[in-house]
Structure 1
Amino acid sequence: MTQPPHIPDGNPYANQPPQPPQAPYGSPQQQPYAPFPQQQGMPGMQGGFQPVPPPAPARGNAGLGVLAAFVAMLVGAGAYGGLIGATEHEIGYAAVAVGLLIGFAAGKVGGNNPVALVAGPVLSLLGVYLGQLLGNAIIGSKQSPWSVPELFFEHFGLLNEVWKAESDFLTFVFFAVAAFASFGAAKRASA
């Protein structure tokens, strides 16, 4: 057996027995110093770091909720007006669908923000009204020399007078049901 080399007397570690060879880092016997507890990472990732989750979608923003409800109102009013123009009848379920669409958009984007929840029913009333006017413009364009845009933008007063003359109790029931459906849809979508 060979003797270890002579160590000078001033060394405090001179009288310690030799240490067994150390395993390399990453082996099960010895882990490197980690200032934080070991985290579970994705398979194949070294160091135990987890990927950063994507940011949460914007919710609870009143401005975006009102904007989404406004866009939904334009789409719903156009579809409702087209349906009235094609069938030449008001369809109550379609008015409810307009309210549901607007309320869903307001609640989904605006969250539980009170401004977005109130904007849904108000825009539903406007959407049903504009849809009925558009439907009357489509019907009127079939019977007059004016096109739908001319009736809607240049002869809006005449179009509104026709709407007033044709409105009955059921017309206003459609308004109420659409506003109620919009508020309910906004509450459910914001949860």
Structure 2
Amino acid sequence: MSQPWQQPQQPQQPQQPGGYPQQQGGYGYPQQPYPGGQQQPQYGGGFPPPAPAPAPQGNTGLAILAGLGVALIGAVLYAFLLSALADTDGREPEITKFAYAGVALGGLVGFVVAKLGGRNQGLWIIGAVFALVAIFLGELYGYALVASDYTSNVMERMGGDGGQAPSANDLFFDHFGDLYDLWKEDANAVTYIFMALSPVAAYGAAHKLSNR
């Protein structure tokens, strides 16, 4: 007795975990879509590292103006410090130099310039020049204060009116050349060393702050 005819079964495709048919390789077989219709990105070595953040840029103009302002204010404060430490009651005025004041002034100027200007070595040099000019003007204005106070004391000891003595501003602005000659005669090696410490401190402070 003959067997009933049966339709041959089609070969089944191998199944992947999850019930999806395995992709066929080779020519003529379209790429099977991933579940959800989106192809997942692949990276050979994981996710790429994030780009480094750009270094903050300083404000050059603001740094110069602020450094100049701090230098001028520091010069006036340094001058009053010299006047406060001077002895004008004797036969000749005696001025005591304070080296750490110049270092503090230079460090403050360098800090302000680097804080506002960033890692700009040109600004560090400008800050050092500001510090040197500030300590020089502070020295001269300090001598003007001492000379004015000393002249007033001499006039009072002679029975005159000490209020008629020239002020420090008169000596500084109207007799700057004579004041400079007086300072130059009194200056020595220690004076120039103290002055050199101010710009060195300014540059060092700016360099240290910018490298943090």
Tell me whether the two structures share a fold, i.e. TM-score over 0.5: yes
Q: 1:129 pairs with 126, 136, 141, which one?
A: 136
Q: 1:148 pairs with 168, 191, 194, which one?
A: 168
Are 2:205 and 1:185 aligned? yes
Give 1:111 deviation, angstroms. Answer: 1.1
Q: Is the Cα–Cα contact under 8 Å of residues 99 and 124 in structure 1 kept in the other structure?
A: yes
Q: Which amino acid aligns with 1:133?
A: L
* Percent of aligned pairs sharing the same letter: 38
Aligned length: 134
Q: 1:107 pairs with 109, 114, 129, which one?
A: 114
**Which residues of structure 1 form unaligned runs of 5+?**
1-57
Give 1:143 deviation, angstroms. Answer: 2.4
Q: Is the Cα–Cα contact under 8 Å of residues 104 and 182 in structure 1 kept in the other structure?
A: yes
Structure ID, larger Rg: 2
Q: Residue 84 of structure 1: SS of its match in structure 2?
A: helix
Residues of 1 paired with 2:57 and 2:64: CA distance?
Answer: 12
Give 1:170 deviation, angstroms. Answer: 0.6
Superposed, 1:53-92 pairs within 5 Å as 59-88=57-86, 89-92=96-99
Superposed, 1:168-183 pairs within 5 Å as 168-183=188-203
Q: Which amino acid aligns with 1:85?
A: S
Distance 1:59 1:139, change over 3 A: farther
Distance 1:64 1:164, change over 3 A: same
Residues of 2 paired with 1:167 and 1:59: CA distance?
Answer: 42
**Which residues of structure 2 form unaligned runs of 5+?**
1-55, 87-95, 152-164
Give 1:115 deviation, angstroms. Answer: 2.4
Give 1:65 deviation, angstroms. Answer: 1.2
Instruction: Map Cα deviations across residues 1-22 of structure 1 (whole Å, 9 max, x no partner).
Output: xxxxxxxxxxxxxxxxxxxxxx
**When the two structures are superposed, what TM-score results if normalisation uses the length of structure 1?**
0.67
**When the two structures are superposed, what TM-score results if normalisation uses the length of structure 2?**
0.60
Give 1:59 deviation, angstroms. Answer: 4.9
Residues of 1 paired with 2:150 and 2:137: CA distance?
Answer: 20
Q: Which amino acid aligns with 1:186?
A: A
